[in-house]
Amino acid sequence: MVLSEREEAVFEGGIKLGGIYHQFIGTPVSRRSRASLEAAIEEAVKNQPFVEDARVKIDERFFDRIGNEFDYLSLTGKMLDVRVTVRVGGTRCVCRMEYREEMDYPLMYVEEIESLGENRE
């Protein structure tokens, strides 16, 4: 079975989000290291095939629980807001991971998908 560009783009985006989740959950993070961890996650996923862009935000509100400058948290799915853009041939797919309070779950989903009018070479 051969996947369409659209199917492959959605698959690649989902794989990238799953990889981020399972690779980085549990990583120690503090208010001081938050920005560098965001950048490290972005750069790590940008190394992968088909990735055009990655944006990672760690919710700063969680750091209000930290008692002193030496304390840290372990990164959880509730803290992450991730947007990964992949391109497969003429299809661009934006996949998202964000915590949904009503579900109490870090949901991964397709935010946007578009045909760029180009065919796969």
Domain boundaries, the chain: 5-62+74-115
pTM: 0.90
pLDDT, one tens digit per residue, over 42-73 is 999 999 999 999 999 999 999 988 878 788 99
Cα separation of the two ends of the chain: 18
CATH code of the domain made up of 5-62+74-115 = 3.30.1300.20
Burial of 34 (0-12, 13-18, 19+ CB in 10 A): buried
Residue 10, classed as helix, strand or coil, is helix
pLDDT, one tens digit per residue, over 96-112 is 999 999 999 999 999 99
